[in-house]
Amino acid sequence: MRIYVLRHGIAEDAPPGGSDAARALTQEGKKKLHAVLECARRAGVHPDVILTSTLKRAVETAEIAAAVLGVQDQSIRTAALAPSGSTDRVWKEIRAHKAEGILLAGHEPLLSMVVAFLLGCPALQVRMKKAALVSIEVETAEAQPKGTLLWMLTPKLTGQ
């Protein structure tokens, strides 16, 4: 199983007293996200399923990913990918979908912890920049994943 972990792009600041959940992507955030996803598309990335946090910036990120990567089905929104989620809940959600390729769209610090968890090294420190995309090959879908890091792509590597 190939798992792609995608942090949302740059989002607007929440207005005073405004909701963090309603923060949308900025134009710059969308531009950097497009650059990363176009590069991934050219490299053959085509997930079967996209799972996303329910927060607006992650949903927008998942929608852009679906469009650029040619994923036909709508993204599946899940509370497991909320910023306060846990690696165990994310793994349970991944395992519930019998797919060869799954893209996760979400937030920090959860996504760094998910990457470390999927690689079987919870103490690993991963820095998921905004719009960063990580590819992990997971050999098993058992209780504890056994993954191999294939690559990490950031906006800076695409020239953004």
**DSSP secondary structure letters along the chain:** -EEEEEE---BPPPPTT--GGGPPBPHHHHHHHHHHHHHHHHTT---SEEEE-SSHHHHHHHHHHHHHHT--SPPEE-GGGSTT--HHHHHHHHHHS--SEEEEEE-TTHHHHHHHHHTT-TT------TT-EEEEEES--SSS--EEEEEEE-GGGGT-
140 pLDDT higher than 70: no
Q: What is the homologous superfamily of the domain 2-11+22-158 according to CATH?
A: Phosphoglycerate mutase-like (3.40.50.1240)
The pTM (predicted TM-score) of the whole model is 0.96
Write down the pLDDT at residue 153: 97
Write down the pLDDT at residue 113: 96
**pLDDT tens-digit series, residues 14-54:** 888 888 899 999 999 999 999 999 999 999 999 999 999 99
